[in-house]
Amino acid sequence: MIQSTHVSELKNKAEQQVIVQGFVHTLRVQSKIIFLILRDTTGLVQNIIEISTPEVFETAKNLSHESVVRITGIVKDAPQAPGGFEIGVTALEVLSHANPELPIPVVVKGSDEETEAPTRFDYRWLDLRKPEKANVFKVWTELEKGFRSYWSENNFTQIYTPSFMSTPSETGAEVFEVNYFDRKAYLAQSPQFYKQMAIASGLERVFMVGPVFRAEESFTTRHMTEFTGWDFEVGFIESHHDIMDLEEGMIVAGFEQIKKTFPELELTVPARPFPRITIVEAKEILASLNVESGEEHDLSPEEEKKISEYVKNEMNHDFVFITEYHKSKSAFYHMRLSEGSDRSRRADLLFKGIEITTLAQREHRIDILEKQAVDKGMHLEPLKDYLNFFRYGCPPHGGAGIGPARLIMKVLDLQNVREATYIPRDVKRLNP
Ligand code: ATP
């Protein structure tokens, strides 16, 4: 590979010859001098091409924006240039010529309106050339680095679960059905059943990062049909509070990692413990604030927003766990709070007004699990593989499913979860 220098490293290279590579960000051609701003993945640098190097001058003159070039030159101090230095170009190689008719602008000037999201997503690779868009995934990388180091320090094992399932994992209402040779298969809407199998396998603590599919006809700013899920599952817990404790640790580790790499974001690392409010208490608080109640046992998006605002005002916290959902809002595999209780050991984590996690202690006692499934009107036959996990000894356990795109969306104050997704998929979008 050519020994090139990234723009971010140029400050240590004054008076040295360097090779830089990247896109033509802007080009200003004058009669005797050309100013070419080059953009690489780390920043922008001004390059000066003078008429005294006629071949280079001629090549540069005919460049189009967004062409890909390799420049050789000498780094010079230049207080007036962005970054305080520039490159006096001695050689210029065009690696790829860009069609001058760009379908969307890459360089958006001050007051120019940004292209509408659907059009930007059609040309996502051009959209992502904008440093602030690419930055989303750099922040995500740091968040995930923090999570992974937490998982590693706390003895989690990574697993990968399949996306093809022979039966719909939960109600069947939200799953994609696909042709699978001579039969039907379903795309996993959560890796949960297989994470639980890992606990029955004796792995004790597992995590995974993988695709999740939802066949929901949702057109909101927080729903997609495919998204990345972060999931973990832990054995030998005493209650859902253990899962909340672990998730707090993960989030703090992720936020600390972002803060270390991106101090300019001025991210607040959340204090532990995060507030925990039962759904009953949440409804009482919302009633006292005169917020219209939707469903009796659930929070509407508006209620999630309002309860988060309340927690921010009263407890100065961006996160809140809403706990102990009614059994009607709990899955058959959620353990009840105690025998005969109509509340379950389930919690949702809200961050700045939206849900980013559902977590729970699962029911590991096969007789109770079967009864809860029957009570929900489910047939046991399609569940037999899952139910078998619990017939030969399985530790008490629980876990969480986290939506990192929603987390990143709120960390960076983006308007839509799609902006935090490399190539979004939704009801209308299957391209590029
Ligand atoms: P919601 O009530 O917002 O539709 P959910 O209850 O269906 O979410 P879960 O099934 O608990 O969500 O999924 C776990 C996490 O995955 C959610 O907390 C959220 O962060 C994320 N998530 C769920 N559905 C979507 C989606 N369609 N697009 C993007 N992220 C999602």
List of domains in the chain: 7-96 (2.40.50.140), 131-420 (3.30.930.10)
How big is the CA angle at 154 (ends 251 and 261), to the nearest 5 degrees? 45
C-alpha–C-alpha distance, residues 90 and 112, integer Å: 35
Nearest CA to ligand 1 atom 25: 223
Residue 169: what pLDDT? 63
Q: Is 357 in the pocket of ligand 1 (CB under 6 A)?
A: yes
CA 368 to ligand 1 center in whole angstroms? 27
Q: Is 227 in the pocket of ligand 1 (CB under 6 A)?
A: yes
- Mean pLDDT of the region 399-406: 98
Q: Is 358 in the pocket of ligand 1 (CB under 6 A)?
A: yes
Nearest CA to ligand 1 atom 4: 223
Beta bridge partners of 235: 397
Contact 410, 420 (CB under 8 A): no
- Give the Å distances, CA to CA, from 72 to 10, 17, 57, 90: 13, 7, 13, 6
Residue 132: how many CB atoms within 10 A of its CB? 8
- Mean pLDDT of the region 3-22: 95
Considering only 12-16, 234-238, 360-364, which range has the smallest mean pLDDT? 12-16
CA 58 to ligand 1 center in whole angstroms? 55
Closest approach atom of ligand 1 to CA 400:
14
Q: Considering the entire predicted model, what is its pTM?
A: 0.95
Nearest CA to ligand 1 atom 21: 403
Provide the mean pLDDT of the chain: 96
Closest approach atom of ligand 1 to CA 403:
20
Which residues of 188-326 form beta strands (DSSP E)?
205-213, 226-235, 276-278, 319-323
C-alpha–C-alpha distance, residues 130 and 1, integer Å: 25
**pLDDT at residue 170 tops 70:** no
C-alpha–C-alpha distance, residues 110 and 44, integer Å: 17
Which residues, in sequence order, are CB contacts of 429 under 8 Å at separation 6+?
Answer: 118, 121
Q: Is 214 in the pocket of ligand 1 (CB under 6 A)?
A: yes
Which residues, in sequence order, are CB contacts of 139 under 8 Å at separation 6+?
Answer: 258, 262, 265, 408, 411, 412
Contact 364, 387 (CB under 8 A): no
Nearest CA to ligand 1 atom 24: 223
Closest approach atom of ligand 1 to CA 356:
20
